[in-house]
Amino acid sequence: MIVLDTHAWIWWVSDPQRLSDEARYKIQHANAIGICPISCWEMATKVSRGKLQLDRDIRDWVRQALAIPKMRLLALSEDIAITAGQLGQQGFHGDPADRLIVATALHHGAGLVSKDEQIRAFSPVQAIW
């Protein structure tokens, strides 16, 4: 399995050329593509603030994107939430959405596709870009 950061999910669905060659290859060849529920919240927040424009209603976009073969919305468990809360002790920055996405990837032992330099610099996560 591979987990996608929110921007990687949006780009994979809407504009895959924005992803690096390695990221596209890893996503194409993954046996499953995991999405953290916080990514839905992040997208809705960006749409509400006018920072993200979609070609359809946000609910339709998310439902259709999650219907793509191999795409799975991953459960947010208490273990993931606790791990996310503890990432600060390991030196990871405080963005709650990023913490939940990183904790989700760690919980599943999955690589995480992200262009975010802070995520990619965090050694416990297997970042892909």
Q: How many residues does the chain have?
A: 129
- Residue 69 tokens read as 């073969």
The reported pTM is: 0.94
Instruction: Say whether pLDDT at 47 is over 90.
Output: yes
CA dihedral over 4, 120, 15, 40, signed as positive or negative: positive
The three-state secondary structure class of 125 is coil
pLDDT in tens, 102-118: 999 999 999 999 999 99
pLDDT in tens, 21-30: 999 999 999 9
Name the DSSP class of 96: H
Distance in angstroms between the alpha carbons of the first and the last residue of the chain:
16
Instruction: Give the pLDDT score at 123.
Output: 87
pLDDT in tens, 7-44: 999 999 999 999 999 999 999 999 999 999 999 999 99
- Residue 27, CA distances (Å) to 6, 33, 116 in order: 14, 7, 17
Domains, the chain, in order of start with CATH, read 2-128 (3.40.50.1010)
Average pLDDT over residues 39-67: 97
